[in-house]
A and B are shown apart, each in its own frame.
Chain A
Amino acid sequence: MTTKSFTKDALIKAADGLRKSYRVFVPVKVGKFHEFKLFEDGDKPDFEYRKTRKSPKGLIFPQSERMLEYSIDEHKPDHHIMKESPKDYSPQVVFGIRPYDAMSFKVMDVNFDTEDYKDPWWIKRYAATTLVGICRNDLDSKMFATENFSGPYDIRGLDVALYDLGDKYIAKSLTEKGEKALAAMGGNDVSAAELAAIEKLTPDTNAPQAAPTDKIKEKVVNDLFDSTMWEDIANGCINCGACTFLCPTCWCFDIQDEIHKREGDRLRIWDSCMFPLYTLHASGHNPRGKKVQRVRNRFMHKIKYYLDKYEKGIMCVGCGRCVEACPVNIDIRRVCELMNNFTK
């Protein structure tokens, strides 16, 4: 473990310096919102941001990604034979990620890196990614704590933690990848006083409160499923999918083929369980044709099935994006509470 100190200006220079050996993604303000973008000449990273509107999950699990390619031109010797699309797995740094977003990759990893099947793209890109994250007491009121994110100083998902001490950041490497990145970042030696200061950092009164989920494990799946609360919860939902789209821990995807002239790609594209097409059979039958069935599935997956299957808490890092974005104020914290207090 190494520690280094950076003034706020020096941190921007350090991120810039990393571009020599990494593709570096930084938060920048575009219009009203922040988003991660590849750090290019002239960009102004803003490390004082609170939350990006869209989560950075796309940096490891792109919204649309070419998986395979092929030709349907019968004059070509290997026509109709699928091959992996070539990809760039050169090392990348997500510089300035927030700890909850960093944790979301751990939450999703269990889906893509399994005992039986390995998603090569996810695994290679996650391995090539170093997460340098900012720990600061500035979490907002829509956020909450879960087993997978306890508060602003929860560094479990990070490779390097950057502790904000007001006028400077103290960087601490947490993994081998982090060690390497920090070595390339430079920085000043850390004084004993600075070390003591980061030890003393504790979540302030704005820190997110936990959504109650402690009793959900003991509930019977079918009891929760059959409960009448879902009608009430789903009532206003317009199936816009904003919640799942912005969520850093939603991983559902679709697979589609596209042909340009005689050359084809097989793509994977984010999908949403809130859309009826997601489960529609060719026969016309749809096991989740009604919105209440879809809303129920979203929450049951996140709060019950995931918890039971992996025993790693709920499938949520409490970022609050779905709470903010939902046009009809469907609030996952309330759903946690209803499920936690549910009795048959």
Chain B
Amino acid sequence: MIDKSMNPFLPYPVKIDEIITETGDHSLKTFKLVFLNKEDEEKFTFIPGQFCELSIPGKGEIPIGIASSPTEKGYLLFTVQKMGVVSGYLHSMKPGDIMGVRGPLGNWYPWDKMEGKNIVIIGGGCAFSTLRSSIVYIRAPENRKKFKQVTAVYGARCLDLLLYCDKLDEWKAGDDIDMHVTVDAIKDEETWRPEWHCNVGFVPSIVKEKVTSPADSIVIICGPPAMLKFTMPVLKDVGFTPEQIYLSLENRMKCGIGMCGRCNVGGKLVCKDGPVFSLAELGELPNET
């Protein structure tokens, strides 16, 4: 949360340190941001699952999940898909440019409940950012022992659209998590890294294959609507209850602190009461996502 003594609308000034083009179609870039003031960096403490408002003077603000982990010190990572006015402008910015970050905002994955349990992480498409944060966080030496088995399934439409390829390599190579990467299809022209071990198939079918027991587990899942729609029945068949499944919502936002009103689902404000909700909690809310 934003330090209570501060004006919650005032962003911290940051500098773009590095821009990584993640996907072959250039639609997703990861921005590495560093704080201009050391004190701000110290004040900014977050938990995986939270987001920030990226603030671009003259353009506006967009809510974006924090892709780096609190265990990665000295910078923040955000992976942004080029969509409209603000995200489009951000894609045209350069390293060295100054912008703002407001946050951390919202709640986080249920880390207190996840401790001592098996963790299943399921991500699809560009909604993998806070799951990246979570995997890096779990794998940190001081944290890994808090969790039992960790299984992750991540999919994209094709090889070219996979995010965080260096990390995926590292996670697959390690024996501390069970990492499964999948693409919907490998295109003929995709000669890129032919040695790359990757499943071919949709996320729900890989989940069906790799996630076989709900015992003592928590699932955190983020992805496009179609992926969610087809993965939920698979999880249900495996025996997961709505209390065991957590997902992160993305509603249109402005203030990010529960004041401007627009992000509500029923009586809950996604920016402040969420963005992370259990499926059980969502079941009690009006159906208006």
Which of chain A's residues have a CB closer than 8 A to the CB of B194? Answer: none
Given the interface contacts A82-B55, A120-B7, A297-B264, does A281 sit within 8 Å of B289 by beta carbon? no
In the assembled complex, the Cα of A251 lies from the Cα of B266 at a distance in Å of 17
In the assembled complex, the Cα of A309 lies from the Cα of B61 at a distance in Å of 28
Which of chain A's residues have a CB closer than 8 A to the CB of B252? Answer: 278-282
Which of chain B's residues have a CB closer than 8 A to the CB of A309? Answer: 267
Q: Please, what's the 1-or-0 string for B259-275, where 1 marks a CB less than 8 Å from any CB in chain A?
A: 11110111100001000
- Chain B residue nearest to A111 (CB atoms) is B259
Q: Is the interface of A mostly helix, strand, loop or mixed?
A: mixed
Among B93-101, B139-147, B155-163, the stretch that binds chain A is B93-101
Which residues of chain A in 66-119 are interfacial with respect to chain B, using CB atoms and an 8 Å cutoff?
A: 67-68, 70, 72, 79-84, 111-112, 114, 116-119
**Chain B: how many interface residues by the 8 Å CB criterion?**
46
Please pick, from B61, B262, B285, the residue contacting A271 in the complex, using a CB distance under 8 A. Answer: B262
Among A129-137, A148-156, A300-308, the stretch that binds chain B is A300-308
Please pick, from B87, B97, B100, B286, the residue contacting A221 in the complex, using a CB distance under 8 A. Answer: B286
- Min CB gap A70→B, angstroms: 5
Please pick, from B4, B57, B250, B254, the residue contacting A255 in the complex, using a CB distance under 8 A. Answer: B254
Q: Is A264 within 8 A of B57, CB to CB? A: yes
Which of chain A's residues have a CB closer than 8 A to the CB of B84? Answer: 282
Total A-B contacts with CB atoms under 8 angstroms apart: 130
Q: Is the interface of B mostly helix, strand, loop or mixed?
A: loop
Q: Is B257 within 8 A of A116, CB to CB? A: yes
Q: Is A255 within 8 A of B260, CB to CB? A: yes
Q: Is A79 within 8 A of B58, CB to CB? A: no
In the assembled complex, the Cα of A279 lies from the Cα of B285 at a distance in Å of 17
Interface check A299, CB cutoff 8 A: no
Greatest chain B CB density within 10 A among A80, A114, A257, A288 is at: A80
Which residues of chain B in 97-113 are interfacial with respect to chain A, using CB atoms and an 8 Å cutoff?
A: 97-100
Q: Is A278 within 8 A of B259, CB to CB? A: no
In the assembled complex, the Cα of A297 lies from the Cα of B289 at a distance in Å of 13
Interface check A43, CB cutoff 8 A: no
Q: Is A114 within 8 A of B83, CB to CB? A: no
**Chain A: how many interface residues by the 8 Å CB criterion?**
50
Q: Please, what's the 1-or-0 string for B1-19, where 1 marks a CB less than 8 Å from any CB in chain A?
A: 1101001111101000000
Interface check A273, CB cutoff 8 A: yes
Q: Is B60 within 8 A of A255, CB to CB? A: yes
Interface check A225, CB cutoff 8 A: yes
Which of chain A's residues have a CB closer than 8 A to the CB of B250? Answer: 281
Interface check B258, CB cutoff 8 A: yes
Interface check A205, CB cutoff 8 A: no
In the assembled complex, the Cα of A126 lies from the Cα of B58 at a distance in Å of 29
Which of chain B's residues have a CB closer than 8 A to the CB of A255? Answer: 9, 60-61, 254-255, 260
- Min CB gap A342→B, angstroms: 15
Interface check B175, CB cutoff 8 A: no
Interface check B39, CB cutoff 8 A: no
Q: Is B267 within 8 A of A304, CB to CB? A: yes
Interface check A222, CB cutoff 8 A: yes
Which residues of chain B in 236-265 are interfacial with respect to chain A, using CB atoms and an 8 Å cutoff?
A: 250-252, 254-255, 257-262, 264-265
Which of chain B's residues have a CB closer than 8 A to the CB of A112? Answer: 259
Please pick, from B59, B255, B260, B264, the residue contacting A301 in the complex, using a CB distance under 8 A. Answer: B264
Given the interface contacts A259-B58, A264-B57, A273-B261, does A80 sit within 8 Å of B286 by beta carbon? no
Interface check B284, CB cutoff 8 A: yes
Interface check A256, CB cutoff 8 A: yes
- Chain B residue nearest to A71 (CB atoms) is B57
Q: Is A67 within 8 A of B9, CB to CB? A: yes
Q: Is B260 within 8 A of A281, CB to CB? A: no
Known: A82-B55, A271-B260. 15 other contacts (CB 8 A): A84-B7, A111-B258, A116-B1, A117-B259, A222-B284, A222-B287, A253-B255, A255-B61, A271-B261, A273-B262, A279-B262, A288-B288, A293-B288, A301-B264, A305-B264
A–B pairs, 5, beta carbons within 8 Å: A81-B36, A81-B100, A251-B259, A257-B57, A304-B267
Chain A positions within 8 Å of B, measured between CB atoms, are 67-68, 70, 72, 79-84, 111-112, 114, 116-120, 221-222, 225-226, 251-257, 259, 264, 266, 271, 273, 278-283, 287-288, 293, 297, 300-301, 304-305, 308-309
User: Which 7 interchain pairs have the tightest Cβ spacing?
Assistant: A305-B267, A80-B98, A252-B261, A282-B83, A225-B286, A117-B257, A282-B84
